[in-house]
Amino acid sequence: MLRQAAISDQKAGFSTLLGFLFVVVFLITTERISAQEFTSQRDATWQDVATWTTAGNCGQNQNPSTGFPPISKNWGCGVSVFINHQVAYTGNASGFGSGVFASVSIASAGKLTFKGDLTINGGGSVPTFQLSPGAEFHVEGTFTLDRPVLITIPAGSRMVVNALVIGNNSPVITVEEGGELIVHKTTTLRSRSTLNLSGKFLTKDLSFTSGGTVNASDPLASISVEGDLTVSNGTLNLGSSAKLEVAGKTDVGQSGTIDLRESASAMFAQQVSIPNGATFRSRNAANFRFDEGLEMSGGGKLILSDQASGIIVKDVSLPNGEIQTGNAAELNVGGRLVASNGGRVTTTSSSSVFICDYPNSTQLGTYHVSRQGDSFYGTGCIPLPVLWKSTQATFQQTKRQVHVGWVTAAEKNNSHFVIERSVSGIQGFHEVKEVAAVGWSDVSSEYQFLDTDLPLMSGMIYYRIRQVDFDGKSAFSEVFGVQVENSSLQHAGRLIAYPNPTNGDKFQIRFEHANVGTHTVTATFKSWGGSKLLKAESLETLSLMVAEEIRLAPKGLCMIEVVADSQVHHLKVMKL
């Protein structure tokens, strides 16, 4: 009897445990799948109820949102926002995305504008920002990120803000190839902030106040600073032929670092300061140009190695600082170089320091200069090559042509330019046009070319310009590119799905006005049951795959994002 009673108690306890686990799993599952979506249905303001349609599976006990999307939400059913039109938020938005706010998605034809300041701070889940190619995200005030938010700006899309603060709590902004980040005033990076660049970044001033990192590591990555650059305690990395231009003054800061590598290039229009604790490094065939002079006080370091090259047009002041060259690197000083106190120059391994005004510079025989092996330190005025000021390609959709423009700051012994184009990445360039050069010039010269014979394709087209001297020597500009659209897609109209509503039977996805052949089509299918990434070789095959996902999905709204020929389309399908 006692044994039976014990067994009975064990069964009862096991049943209770199973019941408890069932309740926990049910609550977790309910919390996971409970969501509320706000989708724009017209161009209007965020705070206008008529702007939105809503869908979701929230119960009344889960605090569903009503009217228009909240900018933050403490508890209850999560909120996701989909922008398919031009939507503007009026006023300041502080604490945006805190609580259970899940995400903001901006479609390829969508534009989200905040008329005032936008601050992402607070607690709870971290919201995600998803921009489709062609999307626009604008902040007319100051945009402050003080949470570990990830923002990606894809090809063909832009984020335009008045002032940008990338804060301390590990936010990351990534500008992909073909994307643009434009800041009208100052961009400020603080500790544990990251800005990754494969596209274009334009800002008035760039300031690393307490740390932060900027990584530009793509042949099409470019940074244009219209004002001053201050790298206090931060790190600016350029690689893979990335480009940096600074129109104002540059201060590498107390412990800041600028690191150029892998054929990256940098141009500084005004005075550069490398003070105590700061490091400016150029290596792996990277190059830089200081149009004014260089001030190194208190122990800063300028290091050139591995075939890097640098041009300092005017004087170098070197009290207590250090210049190091090695491994066939070359530094050209257009004025004089004066070292004093603890200032030192060290040349090694076939590297060179050429000084135009050597008679009035610090001489080789002093303790300030150490020349080792077959390196060189001494007199030399090297003729400057063609100085590239800017390159740009703009796609003109109505005429389906690309305007290629470039500007040189100065030219010597320059015969002509050869424009080369590639449709297969940064390889496979071929000549498309030759343009005569001015030859010799100490002022800016502008050039342009209209590429009207474009291939029938959509995607990125890359250009580079080969500069040819009168003696036949040549050198290349950086690689730059532009997103173009397939001409057939201009007449194909939007992508449609039918029948809708549907249970999956006889379901099709096609263009509204034409059957357009595509090489590869991808789609992200989302329903209350989850999401799935699909890939097919045609819209017909994709239709069959999506139809099967619809059959398996629970009843309700399904979201389908289709990428065909670099075009992004958003579809809504109601599962019966």
Per residue in 67-87, pLDDT tens?
999 999 989 889 999 999 999
Residues 310 and 327 in one domain: yes
Residues 374 and 302 in one domain: yes
Opening angle at CA 329, ends 323 and 333, nearest 5: 55
Residues 403 and 422 in one domain: yes
Asked if residue 268 is part of any domain, the answer here is: no
Indicate the range of 14-18, 339-343, 378-382 predicted with least confidence: 14-18
Look at residue 514 and tell me whether its pLDDT is greater than 70: no
Residues 408 and 456 in one domain: yes
Mean pLDDT is highest, among 3-7, 155-159, 453-457, 490-494, for 155-159
| Confidence at residue 44, expressed as pLDDT on a 0 to 100 scale | 96
| Confidence at residue 385, expressed as pLDDT on a 0 to 100 scale | 66
Residues 347 and 373 in one domain: yes
Residues 313 and 366 in one domain: yes
Average pLDDT over residues 536-557: 86
Residues 398 and 467 in one domain: yes
Length of the chain counted residue by residue? 576
The pTM assigned to this predicted structure is 0.68
Total domains in the chain come to 4
* pLDDT-derived band at 456, boundaries 50, 70, 90: low
Spell out the long-range contacts of 261-270 with Cβ–Cβ below 8 A and sequence spacing 24 or more. 261/237, 261/286, 262/286, 263/287, 264/216, 264/238, 264/239, 264/240, 265/241, 265/478, 266/238, 267/291, 267/387, 267/389, 268/229, 268/292, 269/245, 270/246
Asked if residue 141 is part of any domain, the answer here is: no
Distances (CA, A) of 270 to 233, 293, 295, 313, 386: 21, 8, 11, 10, 19
Look at residue 29 and tell me whether its pLDDT is greater than 70: no
For every residue of 341-389, DSSP letters joined together read TT-EEEE-TT-EEEETTGGGS--TTSTTEEE-TT-EEEE--PPP--EEE
Average pLDDT over residues 377-390: 79
CA 213, 219, 223, 229 torsion: positive or negative?
positive
Asked if residue 544 is part of any domain, the answer here is: yes
| Confidence at residue 194, expressed as pLDDT on a 0 to 100 scale | 97
Q: CA-CA distance, 186 to 390, in Å (whole number)?
A: 22
Average pLDDT, the chain: 87
| Confidence at residue 310, expressed as pLDDT on a 0 to 100 scale | 94
Mean pLDDT is highest, among 44-48, 512-516, 566-570, for 44-48
Residues 473 and 393 in one domain: yes
Q: CA-CA distance, 175 to 166, in Å (whole number)?
A: 14
Per residue in 101-153, pLDDT tens?
989 999 998 999 999 999 999 888 888 899 999 999 999 999 999 999 999 99
State which of 484, 499, 525 marks the end of a domain: 484
Torsion (CA) 350, 356, 361, 364 in degrees, nearest 10 = 30
Residues 308 and 395 in one domain: no
Look at residue 224 and tell me whether its pLDDT is greater than 60: yes
User: Can you give the CATH number for the domain in which 543 is found?
Assistant: 2.60.40
Residues 570 and 492 in one domain: yes
Indicate the range of 234-238, 299-303, 379-383 predicted with least confidence: 379-383
Average pLDDT over residues 58-74: 89
Look at residue 160 and tell me whether its pLDDT is greater than 90: yes
For every residue of 82-146, DSSP letters joined together read EE-SEEEE-S-EESTT-BTEEEEEE-TT-EEEESS-EEE-SSBSPPEEEE-TT-EEEEEEEEEE-
Residue predicted with more confidence, 538 or 333: 333
Average pLDDT over residues 479-490: 70
Asked if residue 200 is part of any domain, the answer here is: no
| Confidence at residue 515, expressed as pLDDT on a 0 to 100 scale | 54
| Confidence at residue 22, expressed as pLDDT on a 0 to 100 scale | 36
| Confidence at residue 2, expressed as pLDDT on a 0 to 100 scale | 40
* pLDDT-derived band at 389, boundaries 50, 70, 90: confident
| Confidence at residue 92, expressed as pLDDT on a 0 to 100 scale | 96
Look at residue 32 and tell me whether its pLDDT is greater than 70: no
Asked if residue 270 is part of any domain, the answer here is: no
Q: Tokens for 103, please give them.
A: 């995400």
Look at residue 328 and tell me whether its pLDDT is greater than 90: yes
Q: Tokens for 455, please give them.
A: 């291939």
Q: Tokens for 44, please give them.
A: 């209007």
State which of 363, 382, 401 marks the end of a domain: 382
| Confidence at residue 88, expressed as pLDDT on a 0 to 100 scale | 97
Asked if residue 136 is part of any domain, the answer here is: no
Asked if residue 143 is part of any domain, the answer here is: no
Residues 368 and 433 in one domain: no
Look at residue 23 and tell me whether its pLDDT is greater than 50: no
Residues 346 and 395 in one domain: no
Average pLDDT over residues 460-474: 86
| Confidence at residue 565, expressed as pLDDT on a 0 to 100 scale | 63
Query: Nearest to residue 486, comparing CAs of 402, 394, 395, 565?
Result: 565
CA 335, 339, 345, 350 torsion: positive or negative?
positive
| Confidence at residue 528, expressed as pLDDT on a 0 to 100 scale | 77
Distances (CA, A) of 316 to 72, 84, 105, 355, 357: 54, 55, 51, 10, 11
Q: What percent of the chain has pLDDT over 90?
A: 57
Indicate the range of 56-60, 139-143, 482-486 predicted with least confidence: 482-486
Average pLDDT over residues 492-504: 80
Torsion (CA) 497, 502, 507, 509 in degrees, nearest 10 = 10
Cβ count near 85 (within 10 Å)? 16
Domain span holding position 526: 487-575
Q: Are 320 and 343 contacting, i.e. CB atoms less than 8 angstroms apart?
A: yes
| Confidence at residue 290, expressed as pLDDT on a 0 to 100 scale | 93
Average pLDDT over residues 23-42: 60
Q: CA-CA distance, 499 to 64, in Å (whole number)?
A: 30
Q: CA-CA distance, 244 to 219, in Å (whole number)?
A: 12
Per residue in 249-291, pLDDT tens?
999 988 899 999 999 999 999 999 999 889 999 999 999 999 8
Q: CA-CA distance, 423 to 440, in Å (whole number)?
A: 33
State which of 484, 511, 544 marks the end of a domain: 484
User: Can you give the CATH number for the domain in which 455 is found?
Assistant: 2.60.40.10
Asked if residue 395 is part of any domain, the answer here is: yes
Indicate the range of 22-31, 58-67, 536-545, 560-569 predicted with least confidence: 22-31
Average pLDDT over residues 512-527: 69
Look at residue 25 and tell me whether its pLDDT is greater than 60: no
